């Protein structure tokens, strides 16, 4: 027996496991895949509450997560960077974005047509291929366990622990009968980094973004609701390249290193983070973050730990 079984080995599950272990709980993480096999690994993983509307809890999660990643960047945690970010808007907005208090220093510039405003701020960026293995090792170093295991019913975990954290992403739809859970397909292209250090995001539709990492640049993207296909589409790849090169001409000639597709675990109504009594124990739900999993991860982990303990 263990105190808590965390079902799900992506960024939501692993950060929750770390916070629970720091509170003294015995924790076992069940995941059907290694970190490299989770949808979190595909994510561009730049702090920004993508397709997330204002809610006081969401702002609190985003603020906590922003501060935690800034702290980790200062301390040299593997895979954690901070990039100046330029958000290019076309809608004529003039007020402060709802998420701005989480960031602190935000500047507003006039970029000229076709954009109506540029919002500039510093944002954490996480290289998931490096960071997720670090998180897993953090869980182990705190005394937790990570087990390769797939579940068909959450009751399986309740047989092993009185508290279960349901961080199963898309699988939560079937595991707890939540019809609001649905996939949002995202396709990205990776190119070699020719010396670009500023993230750029065009808020138009389709959203276009350029996020430079240490050795490569993530180019995107797509937001295709209820599309389950994991096969890269060559036409989408070419369109992403065309839009991103128009946005950041310095990328011209950068070799294409690959492309990836992931299914964001979205939920109508926003993320579900709450405790629920089940026969045999308590299930703490933590799913439905869509494309904002990294952005809300540590804040949600704090709340999950409070709910679980």
Find the length of the chain: 309
Model confidence at 244, pLDDT cuts 50, 70, 90, reads: very high
pLDDT at 34 over 90: no
Summarised one tens digit per residue, pLDDT across range 165-183 is 999 999 999 999 999 999 9
DSSP-derived 3-state class of residue 264: strand
Share of the chain above pLDDT 70, in %: 99
pLDDT at 37 over 80: no
**pLDDT at site 146:** 97
Cα 166 to Cα 304: distance, rounded to the nearest angstrom: 10
Cα 15 to Cα 249: distance, rounded to the nearest angstrom: 37
* Neighbouring C-beta atoms of residue 2, cutoff 10 Å: 16
Phi first, then psi: what are they for 87, rounded to 5°?
Answer: -95, 120
Kindly list the distances between the CA atom of residue 135 and the CA atoms of 26, 90, 159, 172, 225, in Å, as whole numbers in the listed order.
16, 38, 26, 22, 29
pLDDT at 36 over 80: no
**pLDDT at site 40:** 77
Kindly list the distances between the CA atom of residue 119 and the CA atoms of 99, 128, 201, in Å, as whole numbers in the listed order.
12, 25, 10
**pLDDT at site 33:** 82
**pLDDT at site 136:** 96
**pLDDT at site 227:** 96
* Neighbouring C-beta atoms of residue 133, cutoff 10 Å: 16
* Best CA proximity match to 270, nearest among 16, 53, 61: 53
The predicted model scores a pTM of: 0.95
**pLDDT at site 43:** 80
**pLDDT at site 219:** 97
* Best CA proximity match to 185, nearest among 223, 144, 132: 223
* Residue listed under structure tokens 């199963």: 168
Tell how strand 107-109 and strand 272-278 pair up.
Answer: unpaired
Domain that holds residue 186: 4-308
**pLDDT at site 115:** 95
* Neighbouring C-beta atoms of residue 7, cutoff 10 Å: 27
Q: How many domains does the chain have?
A: 1
Summarised one tens digit per residue, pLDDT across range 266-303 is 999 999 999 999 999 999 999 999 999 999 999 999 99
**pLDDT at site 161:** 98
**pLDDT at site 197:** 97
Kindly list the distances between the CA atom of residue 60 and the CA atoms of 27, 287, 300, 301, 309, in Å, as whole numbers in the listed order.
25, 17, 9, 12, 20
CATH number at residue 34: 3.30.9.10
**pLDDT at site 12:** 97
**pLDDT at site 290:** 95
> Which tokens belong to 308?
């679980």
Summarised one tens digit per residue, pLDDT across range 58-83 is 999 999 999 999 999 999 999 999 99
**pLDDT at site 205:** 78
If 0-12 CB within 10 Å is exposed, 13-18 middle and 19+ buried, where does residue 17 land?
buried
Cα 169 to Cα 9: distance, rounded to the nearest angstrom: 10
Q: Are 180 and 268 in contact (CB under 8 A)?
A: yes
Summarised one tens digit per residue, pLDDT across range 84-123 is 999 999 988 899 999 999 999 999 999 999 999 999 999 9
Cα 63 to Cα 73: distance, rounded to the nearest angstrom: 15
* Best CA proximity match to 189, nearest among 243, 135, 152, 229: 243
pLDDT at 203 over 90: no
Cα 143 to Cα 163: distance, rounded to the nearest angstrom: 18
Summarised one tens digit per residue, pLDDT across range 114-127 is 999 999 999 999 99
Cα 210 to Cα 21: distance, rounded to the nearest angstrom: 36
Q: Are 19 and 305 in contact (CB under 8 A)?
A: yes
Looking at every residue in the chain, the average pLDDT score rounds to: 95
> Which tokens belong to 73?
């960047």
């Amino acid at each position: 027996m263990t105190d808590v079984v965390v079902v799900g080995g992506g960024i939501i599950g692993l950060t929750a496991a770390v916070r629970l272990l720091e509170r003294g709980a015995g924790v076992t993480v069940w995941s059907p895949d290694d970190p490299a096999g989770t949808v979190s690994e595909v994510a561009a993983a730049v702090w920004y509450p993508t397709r997330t509307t204002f809610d006081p809890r969401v702002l609190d999660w985003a603020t906590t997560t922003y501060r935690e990643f800034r702290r980790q960047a200062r301390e040299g945690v593997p895979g954690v960077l901070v990039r100046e970010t330029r958000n290019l808007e076309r809608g004529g907005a003039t007020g402060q974005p709802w998420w701005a208090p989480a960031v602190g220093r935000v500047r507003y510039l006039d970029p000229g047509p076709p954009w109506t405003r540029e919002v500039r701020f510093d944002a954490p960026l996480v290289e998931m291929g490096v960071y997720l293995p670090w998180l897993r090792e953090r869980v182990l170093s705190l005394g937790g366990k990570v087990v390769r295991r797939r579940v068909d019913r959450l009751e399986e975990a309740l047989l092993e622990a009185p508290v279960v954290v349901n961080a199963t992403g898309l699988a939560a739809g079937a595991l707890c009968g939540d019809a609001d859970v649905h996939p949002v397909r995202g396709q990205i292209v990776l190119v070699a980094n020719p010396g670009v250090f500023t993230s750029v995001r065009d808020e138009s539709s389709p959203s276009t973004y350029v996020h430079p990492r240490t050795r490569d640049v993530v180019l995107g993207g797509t937001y295709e609701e209820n599309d389950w296909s994991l096969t890269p589409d060559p036409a989408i790849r070419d369109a992403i390249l065309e839009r991103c090169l128009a946005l950041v001409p310095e990328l011209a000639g950068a070799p294409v290193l690959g492309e990836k597709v992931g299914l964001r675990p979205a939920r109508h109504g926003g993320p579900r983070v709450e405790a629920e009594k089940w026969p045999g124990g308590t299930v703490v739900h933590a799913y439905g973050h869509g494309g904002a999993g990294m952005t809300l991860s540590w804040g949600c982990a704090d709340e999950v730990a409070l709910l679980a303990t």
